[in-house]
Structure formats: C-alpha cells, structure tokens
Amino acid sequence: MTLIHHGRGPNPLVGFIVDPAAIAYVGDDLQRPECILAERDGTLWSADARGGVMRIDPDGKQTLIAQNIDDHFDLAGDAAQSLLHGTLPNGLAFARNGDILISNFGTDRLELMTRTGETRVLADSIGGKPLGKVNFVLRDSKDRIWITISTMVNPWSAASTPQLADGYICLYDEKGLRIVADGFSFTNEIRFDAKEEWLYVAETMAKRVTRLRVQPDGSLTDREVFGPSSLGAGVIDGIAFDAYGNLWATMILAERLVAITPEGDLLELLDCGEAEATAAYEAAYIESARTGEAISFDTMLLCGNASVAPWMASVTFGGADLSRVYLGSLRGTRIPYFSSPVPGLPMAHW
C-alpha cells in the first residue's frame, strides 16, 4: 500500500497544472457519469442515469448493468427533468464482496446491486422519516458504511442556497442506521485520511471542506474547516486524497479542479470553465447568500458547456499504480483522464 507522507518532503503537486492537450477520454454515450470506481485490473464502473452502472473493461468494452433500464435521461430534450427527477445513481462504493453500493439521488435510497443487476434497498428512511437526497456512500476498512444526505428539499435545485444547512451524515453498521453529524450546507462527497482518523466532508453550498475526528464507535467530534473557508468560484462536489496528503476537489459549475495541501493551501490544477457563465453563477450565489432564494436552475445550465467534464462532479484515482486521474460529470457522455505526478490514496476496496 502507498504510504502517505503527511507533508514531509517537497509536495509533488505544487506547480503541477493539468495540460488540456494531455487529457484523453474513455467511454461513449454515457449518461450522467457522476461517480467512477476503479479496480486494479483497469476496469471502471461509472454511475449511469439509466438506473445502474456502466462497466467499462480495460479494452473499452461497455456493459450497462441495471435491474430495470430507465430511459428518462435526455439532456438534449428536457435537461431539468433529466437532472432533477427519476432514478439518478450518484455516489458508488464497493461492498466487501464486490457488490455495488449506490446512493440514488433520484429515488432517495441507498441501494445494493450485484454485478449482474439484482438490486435491493438497504435504506430509504431513518427514524420513520424519508432519508432525503442520498448523495454519496463510502465504505471504510472496518466495513462500516457512511452515507451523505445533501438536503431534505426536493427537487434538490431548491436547496441551492448557502443559507440552507439541512444536510447530514449517516453511519450504517452492525447497530443499524443512525445520524452521526448534521447541519451541513448540502453534504456531498466524504473521504477518510490514510489512517481513517478524520472524515472530510465537501459542503457544496458553503464552498468548503469540513472535517470531523472519527471515534472508535463511529461518532464524530472536533468539527472544523479544513483549508480555505471558501474555495473560490464554483461549488465543491467531489473530493479524493492522493498519497502525499493533498485533498483534490472538483468545483462544479465553475469547472475547476483544485487541491488542498496538508498545510491547508489551495492549488489550482485545471480551469475549463467559461468566464461569463462562471461570473453569472457567482453573482447569483452572492444574491442567494443575501436573500436565501435558491439559485435558478437556468443559471446553472449556462455553466460547463465547454468543459472537458461538463458539470465536473468527481475525481477518482485509478490505473495500476493509482496515478491516473478520472473526472466524473453530471452532463458528460465520456470520462476524461490524465496522469498525476503523485498517486492516489488507495480506497478500502483496493
């Protein structure tokens, strides 16, 4: 396993900029490849809006795996209907036996699907109430399952304001399902550091990363902001650690890829946003922070149209040595990738 360096020695990411000419692509005709899982043999698994995942073999062969194929997703037709309603597989994680945990942002459920498509619901309520917008799922080395709920508001676009903080984190273990932290501004992806001492949380509408110390019983304490209080243009969506301890992050809508160093400094790695659309979104964000009114979906749709990963949503390390970076997106039809100067931190399934 790759060792994390905790900031000792020169940071290989400092000074690194992604060369657009060096970006290649994998996959064709994908639907909402929001989250990507990578395996050692080069196989990729991409969330797919048809109601499951797309398996992409190392030779490029694609296989859609879904219990019932849903054809509601049509960005060329009704983008709002496609992105806000229907089954929307979002965050993915491998169960210990290789099955796929799916946080379904459309059905508001945590689902478990075998590699041949059989699906069952693991959770759709807590304390007798609906879960809310189930965004992301992560399994740790102790086989515990961590789930993020972005908001209780439906459709999720109505929660697009920094004034709302109704997101929370659940833990699913031998004791069942329980809330371990709440009060987040649109809870998105979560990741552990190398020793699983801290859980890092992308708070989308707050433009920041928050971290909490993980106790042996799964409770979370010592909540604090990690890195800048604002990561700048766009809003944070996906995060992933590299082996040095940098936390990579996608800034959706501004279409930026950034990283927070172990010391908390911000590095800009890629910017493929359009200045005019980004400025319009940032102006709407400031107004929303003042009024509490949600940012309009039409303003969001202006963003990301020329991006290499339209509505850049996630970052995944893969390849045999974990030095290949894949970018997930909400409006893309393929997956861009490039080489990193530092490998990724291995996930629990690696």
Q: Which residues contact 208 (CB under 8 A, 6 or more apart)?
A: 225, 227, 228, 229, 230, 231, 236
What are 21-75's pLDDT values in tens digits? 999 999 999 999 999 999 999 999 999 999 999 999 999 999 999 978 778 867 7
Give one DSSP letter per residue of 160-189, joined into a string: -STT---EEEEEEETTEEEEEEEEESSEEE
Number of neighbours of residue 297 by Cβ within 10 angstroms:
16
User: What pLDDT is attached to residue 6?
Assistant: 52
DSSP 8-state secondary structure symbol assigned to residue 204:
G
User: What pLDDT is attached to residue 76?
Assistant: 76
DSSP 8-state secondary structure symbol assigned to residue 227:
S
DSSP-based three-state secondary structure for 289: helix
What are 208-238's pLDDT values in tens digits? 999 999 999 999 999 999 999 999 999 999 9
What are 193-207's pLDDT values in tens digits? 999 999 999 999 999
DSSP-based three-state secondary structure for 301: helix
**What is the Cα Rg of the chain in Å?**
18
Per 3-state DSSP, the chain is made up of helix, strand and coil in percentages (nearest 5) of: 10, 40, 50
Give which of 13, 25, 15 is closest to 308, Cα–Cα.
Answer: 25
Domains of the chain with CATH codes: 20-339 (2.120.10.30)
pTM over 0.85: yes
What are 247-296's pLDDT values in tens digits? 999 999 999 999 999 999 999 999 999 999 999 999 999 999 999 999 99
Rounded (10°) CA dihedral 6, 136, 312, 237: -60
